[in-house]
Structure 1
Amino acid sequence: MLVLASQSPRRRELLHRIGVAHEIMSAGVDETPAHAESAETYVQRITLAKGMTVQQLAPTRAILAADTCVVVNGNILGKPEDEAHALHMLLQLSATTHEVHTGVALLYNGKQDYRLSSSKVRFCPISEAQARRYWATGEPADKAGAYAVQGRGALFVEHISGSYSGIMGLPLYETGQLLAKAGLLTV
């Protein structure tokens, strides 16, 4: 059975949607971006670090790892530390187009296979009052960029170009390709 190196309920739900049986193992890694690190390099580094951390706990198992980051004006937005941080992020995203990068990796049989999904999301203008009300729902607390495209955060989304599941945190096309290549999924 596949091991998902994530506690994300969204990633678990997405794997269930495509019929992939899996179990969960936590992968606590430092997700601080390195100085001048590009978003693409950052998400690859964190994804592989999560996978390798779990691989040490289950060395004979196939490990699926993923990480998502939101980028606006060249700045990587992680998960908000508190309400003030979330409000700052949401107001940065207001009336702009930002990028969402999700890396997904499969580690199995001594191999590492990695894919990147990149999408663009355009937000409508968001007032500070709207951002505060959204924070009060609890939804943005553990989400990259302080929003969930599959939840109430969708009310801010004017346009998406790219992978909806990738924006949620697990790009299903890329994940399916990795699992099929390894013989773990028939597409």
Structure 2
Amino acid sequence: MKKLILASNSPRRRQLLTDLGLRYDVRLREVDESFPAHLRRADIAEYLAAHKASAYRADLQPDEVLLTADTIVCLDEQVLNKPADEAEAVGMLSQLQGRAHDVYTGVCLLTGDGREVVFSDHTRVHFRPLSEAQIRYYVQHYRPLDKAGAYGAQDWIGLVAVTRLEGSYFNVMGLPVHRVYEELEKLGFGVSGA
């Protein structure tokens, strides 16, 4: 029986895997999240997911499958990562309000026997216009400093600002679970016959 290892501190990713009915262990390491300047959009997310996985490669046991992921928010060609502080979070949300942007989540599944599957998913997110007071309220009360683009679709701002999604909602939360489940099934996880 294979063991699933999640290399993420994200409570949202943990909950999504739990909701899938999967058992997993969590392993955490500090990994540099910089990326080559020539990469764009989905390539960035995939690069970061695979880069994170490489930090665990030497320690994986033959019966283990590692899952790493990275979510990025793109406004046109600008990448909005996790904000450094509240002021940067307000600035990011001020740019996103009233506009559509793209969310990419890259995923890497790495097996203890050396197989690697890397993929990404894309969702287009539409925000209605927001006032500065609404943005500041969200940042002060929800502290989205651990989220790419300075927001969580499952938070207050998702309830009041997201008018339309083109693609997977769960991808915006940080894990394209439909794709993850499909790939994990190929590796022997999931509910057979369902």
TM range, smaller chain = over 0.9
The aligned residue for residue 150 of structure 2 is 146
User: 2:58 and 2:45 mapped to 1: Cα distance?
Assistant: 20
TM-score by length of 1: 0.95
Corresponding residue to 1:39 among 38, 41, 45:
41
Asked if the contact 1:87/1:132 (under 8 Å) is kept, the reply is: yes
Give the 4+ runs in structure 1 shifted more than 3 A.
Answer: none
Matches within 5 A, 1:67-82: 67-82=70-85
Residue 145 and residue 111 in structure 1: after superposition, are their counterparts in 2 closer, same or farther (change >3 A)? Answer: same
Corresponding residue to 2:29 among 27, 30, 47:
27
RMSD of aligned alpha carbons:
1.3
The aligned residue for residue 128 of structure 2 is 124
Deviates more, 1:32-41 or 1:16-25: 32-41
What SS class does the counterpart of residue 76 from structure 1 fall into? strand
Q: Report how far residue 36 of structure 1 moved.
A: 3.3
Deviates more, 1:136-145 or 1:112-121: 136-145
Q: Report how far residue 59 of structure 1 moved.
A: 4.0
Aligned identity (percent) is 36
Q: Report how far residue 49 of structure 1 moved.
A: 1.2
Q: Report how far residue 116 of structure 1 moved.
A: 1.0
Residue 62 (structure 1) aligned with residue 65 (structure 2): yes
Q: Report how far residue 33 of structure 1 moved.
A: 3.7
Gap regions ≥5 residues in structure 1: none
TM-score by length of 2: 0.92
What SS class does the counterpart of residue 39 from structure 2 fall into? coil
The aligned residue for residue 135 of structure 1 is 139
Matched residues, number: 187
What SS class does the counterpart of residue 9 from structure 2 fall into? coil
User: 1:8 and 1:46 mapped to 2: Cα distance?
Assistant: 15
